[in-house]
Amino acid sequence: MSASIKPMLTAVAFQMAAALESYQAEFDGMVQSWHDPGRYAAVNRRLEDIRMYRGALPQLSVDVVEVLIAHVELMHSLWDATVRPSREAMERVEQLRGQLHRRVETMRAKCLRLCGPA
């Protein structure tokens, strides 16, 4: 990587890490009151930020897809737990929530490594 591009990619990686942190906080808030359209919109804005930064960081493309898949699976599980409440449905929500947290944290760590020295 050329020295002139490194500062730009470092900045984008840092912004991606911040977007992931914001996404996680927004998502956790949405889970508490997930029928709130404002919270849902905020989560979607953070996902859009993550997608945007991915363009400059193709090495994170697989990680972005994994986060998006985990997000969709968890949203489906939340809906299912609402329309068919059961202990098993709530356990599934918690399992998928943990999976999403792990994927987000793994991706954030990769972003922060990209911010480190060359």
Q: Are 100 and 70 in contact (CB under 8 A)?
A: yes
**For each of the chain's 118 residues, which pLDDT tens digit applies?**
556 778 889 999 999 999 999 999 999 999 888 778 999 999 999 999 999 999 999 999 999 999 999 999 999 999 999 999 999 999 999 999 999 999 999 999 999 999 886 5
29: three-class secondary structure by DSSP: helix
Give residue 2's pLDDT.
57
Amino acid in position 102: R
Amino acid in position 4: S
pTM for this one?
0.89
Q: Are 47 and 94 in contact (CB under 8 A)?
A: no
DSSP string, 54-68: HTT-GGGHHHHHHHH
Q: Are 67 and 83 in contact (CB under 8 A)?
A: no
CATH number of 6-115: 1.20.120
